[in-house]
């Protein structure tokens, strides 16, 4: 963030010298401009807040507050279904992210350098835009035609499809900001395309790749629809476990689970912020 | 354009990903398209008897009604998201860089919280015994609990909640990219803030708004979890129909047809959006 302020500072100073009135005039904003933003945040966070508060409720009843208690947290960890779902989800997300990060990075590099029309680019980004429902039933049909047995392996492949699209998109965006002269210099000095890619491009792309991988991982953890169609009933991912709980009767454990997942997201988001800043700032 | 890199073989970079996506995206989707012309198997799957029945069935009032209703719901959600999301994005774009990051993280954070849990949270809020009714009664605004859960309005609120961040982010991106000097120039030349907004900011933010609309409309249209869990399955959307064809009615070819029609509709919407944004961005240069 610091560099942003540095880059804007000289222009503002220059402007002030030219016209002392310019700065205050440009910066002045109508009163109440932030009211919709605050209302939006209330809308976004009220439901989450209720769930978090209720995770500390000492009652089986989801709608009655009876006092503070931490009892749902140990019960959550004792719940084998939820824990198995969590393990399954982590396996799927790791596998899908690994595949997608490699494929997406290569695709982005290839698209940036070797394609002129948008065809391959559109094809690579398509899974991010296609309805998850279509991908889900398409893969279900495909796997069942091949008699490929459904389970975590099929969900990993299915998740890798849309995850690849997101990694490609993010790395492509990062590529667009790269200075092509560095690669050209490397080539002019005699490095081959692979060496240039590994030594020059990859390090520059690192923040984009990390961001893409994190996004892929998080999306996979959260993904329900495609997993719903492509897994076996015996190997549900966490979202599928939550779905059946919500459908057939919620216990307050879900609140505790939600709170912990929220905590994980907060940590991940902050870590991602830090990471991209760290890897981005030293060049 | 004519850099040395261009002459290298693209195969090692492009082939793995393209191949992967052909096998696990293009072929499965193509397979679905193929299935729409055949007869259902008794327990799911397919029998290879050619038929056009699946496509004809779409025009039965029941199914046509569901499709129209889904479009209507998704449109309402999109418009609401735009109305709420625009001022939010505008507010964020005007913050100092430090607060901008915080505000953006706060927009993204709910989105990174499990989708089903966010859906479930609305059950806690909207249930007859739920928190909103308790607050309303506590404030003496109503005597009897209002039925909110399992209504079409609840689905709209749920979908809006789910996809609002997807509207705010592209809007913010386009608003933030705007060269502030343009607006400053307008203000310095004597335009009122409102006029500067209307003539400078608003037109330039339309591509971002269109992207946001697509980001909201597309998933809202095919969502089946929110209609089922918050809508109680009473208001059926296309997604629910597709799901039911696969898991309950066991009519895979018709399910495939519905999903394909849904996709075709969405692709048309996206193409229109692309064409419009392209004209918007290229227009001034040509004229």
**What's the CATH number of domain B58-286, 3.40.50.1820, 1.10.3720.10, 1.20.1600.10, 3.30.2290.10?**
1.10.3720.10
Q: Report the SS3 class of residue A189.
A: coil
- Residues 39-58 (A) with a CB less than 8 A from some CB of B: 39-41, 43-48, 50-51, 54
Residues of A in contact with B264 (CB under 8 A): none
Chain A residue nearest residue B100, CA to CA? A1
- Read off the pLDDT band of B274 (50, 70, 90): confident
Q: How far apart are CA A256 and CA A85, in angstroms?
A: 15
Say if pTM beats, i.e. exceeds, 0.90: no
ipTM for the complex shown: 0.84
Among B41, B26, B70, smallest CA distance to B227 is for: B70
Q: How far is CA A222 from the centre of its chain?
A: 9
Residues of A in contact with B113 (CB under 8 A): 48, 258, 261-262, 265
For range B60-70, the mean pLDDT = 92
Q: How far apart are CA B240 and CA A246, in angstroms?
A: 17
Hey, are the CB atoms on B18 and A107 less than 8 Å from each other?
yes
For range A103-110, the mean pLDDT = 93
Of the candidates B3, B92, B229, the beta carbon closest to that of A180 is on B3
Q: What is the pLDDT of residues B222-248, one digit of tens each?
A: 899 999 999 887 767 899 999 999 888
Q: What is the pLDDT of residues A209-230, one digit of tens each?
A: 988 998 899 889 889 999 999 9
Q: How far apart are CA A105 and CA A205, in angstroms?
A: 9
Tokens of A196: 């240039």
Where in chain B are the domains? 58-286
- Give B38's strand partners: B50
Q: What is the pLDDT of residues B191-200, one digit of tens each?
A: 777 887 888 7
Q: How far apart are CA B88 and CA A39, in angstroms?
A: 9
pLDDT at A247: 85
Q: What is the mean pLDDT of chain A?
A: 84
- Give A19's strand partners: none
pLDDT at B3: 47
Residue pairs spanning A and B at CB distance below 8 A: 266
Q: Which structural domains are found in chain A, ordered by start?
A: 73-281 (1.10.3720.10)
Strands (E), chain A: none
Q: 């049909």: which residue's tokens? A: A141
Distance in Å, alpha carbon of B287 to nearest chain A alpha carbon: 25
- Give B39's strand partners: B47
Cβ neighbours of residue B74 closer than 8 Å, sequence gap 6 or more: B159, B216, B217, B220, B221
Residues of B in contact with A39 (CB under 8 A): 84
Exposure on the CB side of residue A257, measured as CA atoms within 13 A: 29
Three-class DSSP labels, A196-238 = HHHHHHHHHHHHHHHHHHHHHHHHHHHCCHHHHHHCCCCCCCH
């Amino acid at each position: 963030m610091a560099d942003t302020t540095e880059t804007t500072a000289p222009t503002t100073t220059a402007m002030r010298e030219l016209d002392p009135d310019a700065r205050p005039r440009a910066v002045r904003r109508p009163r109440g401009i932030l009211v919709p933003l605050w209302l939006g945040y209330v809308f976004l966070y009220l439901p989450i807040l209720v769930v978090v508060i209720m995770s500390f409720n000492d009652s089986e009843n989801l709608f009655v507050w009876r006092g503070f208690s931490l009892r749902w947290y140990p019960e959550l960890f004792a719940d084998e279904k939820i824990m198995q779902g969590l393990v399954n989800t982590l396996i799927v997300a790791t596998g899908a992210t690994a595949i997608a990060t490699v494929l997406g990075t290569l695709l982005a590099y290839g698209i940036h350098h070797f394609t002129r029309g948008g065809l391959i680019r559109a094809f690579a980004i398509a899974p991010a835009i296609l309805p998850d429902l279509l991908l889900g039933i398409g893969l279900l049909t495909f796997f069942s035609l091949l008699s490929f047995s459904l389970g975590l392996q099929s969900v990993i492949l299915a998740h890798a499809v849309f995850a690849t699209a997101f990694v490609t998109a993010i790395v492509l965006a990062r590529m667009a900001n790269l200075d092509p002269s560095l690669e050209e210099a490397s080539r002019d000095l005699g490095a081959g395309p692979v060496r240039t890619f590994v030594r020059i491009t990859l390090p520059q792309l690192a923040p984009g790749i990390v961001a893409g991988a994190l996004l892929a991982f998080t999306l996979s953890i959260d993904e329900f629809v495609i997993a719903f169609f492509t897994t076996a009933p015996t190997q549900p991912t966490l979202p599928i476990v939550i779905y059946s709980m919500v459908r057939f009767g919620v216990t307050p454990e879900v609140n505790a689970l939600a709170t912990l997942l929220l905590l994980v997201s907060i940590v991940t988001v902050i870590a991602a912020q830090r990471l991209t800043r760290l890897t981005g700032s030293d060049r | 354009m004519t850099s040395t890199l261009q002459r290298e073989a693209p195969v090692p970079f492009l082939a793995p990903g393209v191949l992967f996506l052909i096998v696990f995206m293009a072929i499965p989707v193509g397979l679905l398209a193929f299935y729409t012309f055949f007869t259902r198997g008794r327990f799911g799957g397919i029998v290879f008897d050619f038929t056009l029945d699946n496509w004809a069935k779409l025009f039965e009032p029941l199914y046509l009604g569901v499709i129209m209703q889904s479009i209507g719901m998704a449109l309402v959600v999109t418009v609401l998201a735009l109305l709420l999301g625009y001022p939010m994005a505008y507010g964020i774009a005007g913050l100092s860089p430090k607060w901008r990051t915080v505000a953006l993280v706060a927009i993204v954070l709910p989105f990174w919280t499990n989708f089903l849990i966010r859906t479930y949270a609305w059950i806690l809020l909207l249930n007859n015994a739920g928190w909103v009714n308790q607050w309303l009664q506590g404030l003496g605004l109503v005597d009897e609990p209002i039925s909110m859960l399992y209504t079409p309005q609840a689905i709209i609120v749920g979908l809006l909640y789910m996809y609002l961040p997807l509207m705010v982010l592209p809007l913010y991106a386009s608003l933030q990219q705007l060269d502030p000097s343009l607006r400053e120039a307008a203000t310095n030349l004597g335009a009122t803030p409102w006029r500067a907004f209307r003539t400078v900011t608003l037109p330039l933010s339309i591509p971002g708004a269109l992207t946001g609309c697509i980001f909201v409309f597309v998933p809202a249209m095919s969502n089946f979890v929110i209609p089922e869990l918050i809508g109680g399955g009473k208001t059926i959307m296309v997604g629910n129909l597709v799901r039911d064809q696969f898991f309950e009615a066991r009519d895979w070819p018709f399910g495939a047809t519905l999903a394909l029609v849904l996709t075709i509709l969405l692709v048309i919407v996206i193409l229109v959006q692309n064409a419009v944004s392209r004209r918007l961005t290229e227009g001034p240069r040509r004229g």
